[in-house]
Chain A
Amino acid sequence: MTDASINASTVTAQPRVDEASFGDYFALLKPRVMSLVVFTALVGLLAAPVPVHPFVGFCAILFIAIGGGASGALNMWWDADIDKVMKRTKGRPIPSGKVEEGEALALGLALSGLSVIMLGLATNWIAGAFLAFTIFFYVVVYTMWLKRSTPQNIVIGGAAGAFPPVIGWVAATGSMPLEPWLMFALTFMWTPPHFWALALFMRSDYDDAGVPMLTVTHGRRATRTHILIYTVLLSVLAVGTAFSNIGGPVYLTVALILNALFLSGAWKISRRTEADSEADNFKVERSFFKLSLLYLFLHFGAILVEALLKPYGLGGWS
């Protein structure tokens, strides 16, 4: 994005067909991941027992989303080398040659600082500090350290994606009781089975990039067993959350149905052989992955419904 050419009337450079558009810079922020961050942070904010001015609430969610996007840009900057290798990521702005690595770094750093400061000013500095920690955790602990060094990368790194509901709650209340940590634990425990299912049917990608996914280091049989173990633990947690202050009959109903489906999917995955999976092009693994997206969305949706019903005396167990 060097603009040295613009003050020379003798410029003859041809238009670059691969020149970055505004959308390419926006793509650096991983909009799909941002949408998950926005939704879970919003649930955290609205489930908190302290009312927030709507405009302050909007700004809080916006700056949490920008912070999440900034860490996405820094992740793309650091992982540009392996993004080039993986089919799933080679169309991203840096590997496709539209945006330079340094631009992603600059955008990521600038938006990180902006989001933390603005969240602190709009809500409180505990929330701002928490957002800063989340960015640090995702970029330094997960991207730079764990991702390429341990097959537990997804397990520990998943914490970064689980922080937004806690930040939303802290933005509203300035405190961190058990409830936001239950939402954290829900996302944290959900992440491994979600990603390992993806790794099962996108296997060549991670192999080619040399990322030590569980499928590569411990084998695919072990990964299938891990998915089942984590899903059992997740189910206990998800159903147990129904009996906390953020749960209620709506949440319990949703949790019972979804966890029965999720456990059934995990059980099927654990019983299948590679030959079974290849025969139907990983049909069960793919549907488990799709269900996992719905799983998280509906659990948080149910928490939101319980929170929205409370003012009418309907939400929760009281």
Chain B
Amino acid sequence: MSLRKSHELHQRRFGRNLGVGLTLAAFIFIIFGLTVVKVSGTDFGMAQQEVQN
């Protein structure tokens, strides 16, 4: 039941798999970027200051 490394399916679906992979990588980047922006934004900064006070 092993999957052969050089199966024809890999070549046939290379483009599709690459597309999905790049899309997922872009999604991770967006989540990371949004997190950075939100955390360093004013709302979060003010809330943090309130907690410290």
Contacts and interface: CB of A to CB of B under 8 A. Distances in A.
B41 A53 contact: yes
A22 B33 contact: no
Contacts of A2: none
A119 to B, nearest CB: 11
29 contacts: A5-B9, A6-B7, A6-B9, A7-B1, A9-B1, A9-B2, A9-B3, A9-B4, A11-B7, A11-B9, A15-B8, A15-B12, A19-B12, A19-B13, A20-B16, A21-B16, A22-B20, A23-B19, A25-B16, A26-B19, A55-B34, A55-B37, A56-B34, A59-B30, A59-B34, A62-B30, A118-B30, A121-B34, A122-B34
Interface of A: 5-9, 11, 15, 19-23, 25-26, 53, 55-56, 59, 62, 118, 121-122
Contacts of B8: 15
A22 B19 contact: yes
B47 interface: no
A283 to B, nearest CB: 41
A85 B37 CA distance: 48
Nearest to B26: A62
Nearest to B8: A15
Interface of B is mostly: helix
Contacts of B20: 22
Nearest to A56: B37
A69 to B, nearest CB: 12
Interface of B: 1-4, 7-9, 12-13, 15-16, 18-20, 30, 33-34, 37, 41
Contacts of B34: 55-56, 59, 121-122
B43 to A, nearest CB: 11
Contacts of B2: 9
B18 A22 contact: yes
Nearest to A21: B15
A163 B29 CA distance: 28
A50 B7 CA distance: 54
A285 to B, nearest CB: 38
A129 to B, nearest CB: 19
A19 B9 CA distance: 11
A20 B2 CA distance: 25
- 8 tightest A-B CB contacts, nearest first: A22-B19, A22-B16, A55-B37, A15-B12, A55-B33, A53-B37, A21-B15, A7-B1
Given A25-B16, A53-B41, A118-B30, 14 more contacts: A6-B7, A9-B2, A9-B3, A9-B4, A11-B7, A19-B13, A22-B18, A22-B19, A26-B19, A53-B37, A56-B37, A59-B33, A59-B34, A121-B34
A20 B7 CA distance: 18
Q: In the complex, which of the residues B13, B19, B33, B41 has the most CB atoms of chain A within 10 Å of its own CB atom?
A: B13
Contact of A8 (B1, B12, B16, B33): B1
Given A21-B15, A53-B41, A55-B37, A7 B3 contact: yes
